[in-house]
Structure 1
Amino acid sequence: MTTAPAPDPDLPCTLAEVVTHELVVKRSRFLAHLEPVRTPEEADDVVARLRKQHWDARHHCVALVLGTDAGVQRSTDDGEPSGTAGVPMLEVLRHRRTTDVVAVVTRWFGGVLLGAGGLVRAYSGSVAAALEEAERQGVVLDRRRLVEVALDVPHADAGRVENVLRDWAAHHDAVVEDTHYGSSARLRLLVPPSALDRLRDDVGAVGGGALRPEVGAQRVVDVRRSRTR
């Protein structure tokens, strides 16, 4: 069975799709909505859509983290007491090393004041619970710095060599991409930099020295994390 590449400890993770989670505290409803985004404009669109969808709610508090290295971070309390909503939500995203995500927690007031501490726990807890739900659903994406490698193979040998590469990738934290067919079959992989020498040796052994990997650029790749139970 193919295993996903191990996460890069220097890179944050992200989400593959929308995740929601509802929390009720003293009759107040807190609906956390986490959605993958790539730009502040996309995040603004998400917030506007949720404001329109949940027009009857009192607050739509926001935390946003963007960038491969989580370099862009913003938050808003949207009318809640300063520091009780957006910042605690943002701290959860930071602590869980999550980027390219906007978190919106929509609150319907239940008639009971929660106090500053209660609000902090409710807003941060909503985002934390949504991230745990993302883990359960298997929609967390870990990021890896991998190197593009291409291998041109005669059509007659393509199936055999591709099977070998898939087995190799499963044991070396690599990813096999789609094959391109032209005058020859161009097999493509994404390989950890530390495994390049091993790939050259193993491919050389498979092809009797005739197959030579072509090493390309390094890029950041999102790989789905294994589902937790």
Structure 2
Amino acid sequence: MADDVYRTIDGPAEGLYKEKGSKFLAYAWPVENEEEAKEYINELRTKYYDARHHCFAWQLGYDGMNYRVNDDGEPSGTAGKPIHGQIRSNELTNILIVVVRYFGGTKLGVSGLINAYKVAAADALANARIIEKTINKNIEIAFPYESMNGVMRIIKDEEPEVLSQDFNLSCRMLLSIRKGKSEQLKNKLQTVDGLIFEND
């Protein structure tokens, strides 16, 4: 996989695992930041207020370092870690998985819990559509109106996404392009008379 590509899921997905009367309801969402993850977790805590545990794991960013696991009262390492293990083994990021447990009256033991949370998370991922996305870089430019044709020609050739544009006496554009192609785009834009890079 290229270093400017990552894997995530394209929408919410659900999974289920039952063991000795306990029910494990798994929910997976694509998320962009910690705040978004917290909103989904709180939503489930409200919806399933009568459940014994709401355990979760999330992974954000592209270096594998930004993640969180939570056992929510289960024995340490028996819930959040196995959920996170499924995220890691599928090489996913920008994802949250929450597993809600309804206790069935029979204790499952440490290995039983680890297996239950792992299988519930795996079931949610099996029901999700895993997609590849590119890591994009934003480039903000300002240029005189006379240089418009030169800029537009480069945009047509390099095909960045135009996030915003403002054409007055001085023109401004915010472009987004795959990280691996960003230097090539910048090199071409540097040839345009009067063009400057903002926030560079």
Q: TM-score, normalised by structure 2?
A: 0.66
1:214 pairs with 2:200 = no
Unaligned runs of 5+ in 1: 1-5, 219-229
Structure 2 residue aligned with 1:60, among 25, 48, 54? 54
CA distance, structure 1, for counterparts of residue 139 and residue 66 of structure 2: 28
Aligned ranges 1:144-155 → 2 under 5 Å: 144=136, 146=137, 148-150=139-141, 152=143, 154=145
2:172 maps to: 186
1:106 positional shift: 0.3
- Alpha-carbon deviations, 1:124-151, whole Å to 9, x = none? 2333343454435x6x75434x251526
Structure 2 residue aligned with 1:196, among 169, 183, 188? 183
Identity of counterpart residues, as a percentage? 30
8 Å Cα contact 1:88-1:123 kept in structure 2: yes
Name the CA shift for 1:111/1:68 in 2 (closer, same or farther; >3 Å): same
1:183 positional shift: 1.6
CA distance, structure 2, for counterparts of residue 165 and residue 57 of structure 1: 53
8 Å Cα contact 2:10-2:129 kept in structure 1: no
Could you say what secondary structure the match of 1:25 adopts? strand
1:38 pairs with 2:30 = no
8 Å Cα contact 1:38-1:100 kept in structure 2: yes
CA distance, structure 1, for counterparts of residue 39 and residue 170 of structure 2: 45
| Code of the aligned partner of 1:168 | E
Higher strand share: 2
Name the CA shift for 1:64/1:147 in 2 (closer, same or farther; >3 Å): closer
- Alpha-carbon deviations, 1:76-123, whole Å to 9, x = none? 323434432111112223344444544321022346665544432332
Q: TM-score, normalised by structure 1?
A: 0.60
CA distance, structure 1, for counterparts of residue 43 and residue 184 of structure 2: 49
- Alpha-carbon deviations, 1:142-163, whole Å to 9, x = none? 434x2515263638966x9647
CA distance, structure 1, for counterparts of residue 32 and residue 173 of structure 2: 31
CA distance, structure 2, for counterparts of residue 43 and residue 107 of structure 1: 19
Unaligned runs of 5+ in 2: none
1:69 positional shift: 3.7
| Code of the aligned partner of 2:158 | W
Could you say what secondary structure the match of 1:52 adopts? helix
8 Å Cα contact 2:37-2:58 kept in structure 1: yes
1:188 positional shift: 3.5
CA distance, structure 2, for counterparts of residue 16 and residue 155 of structure 1: 42
1:143 maps to: 135
Structure 1 residue aligned with 2:80, among 64, 82, 86? 86
Aligned ranges 1:154-193 → 2 under 5 Å: 154=145, 162=152, 165-169=155-159, 174-191=160-177, 192=179
| Code of the aligned partner of 1:189 | L
2:18 maps to: 25
Q: How many residues align?
A: 196
CA distance, structure 2, for counterparts of residue 153 and residue 93 of structure 1: 48
2:65 maps to: 71
CA distance, structure 2, for counterparts of residue 156 and residue 74 of structure 1: 48
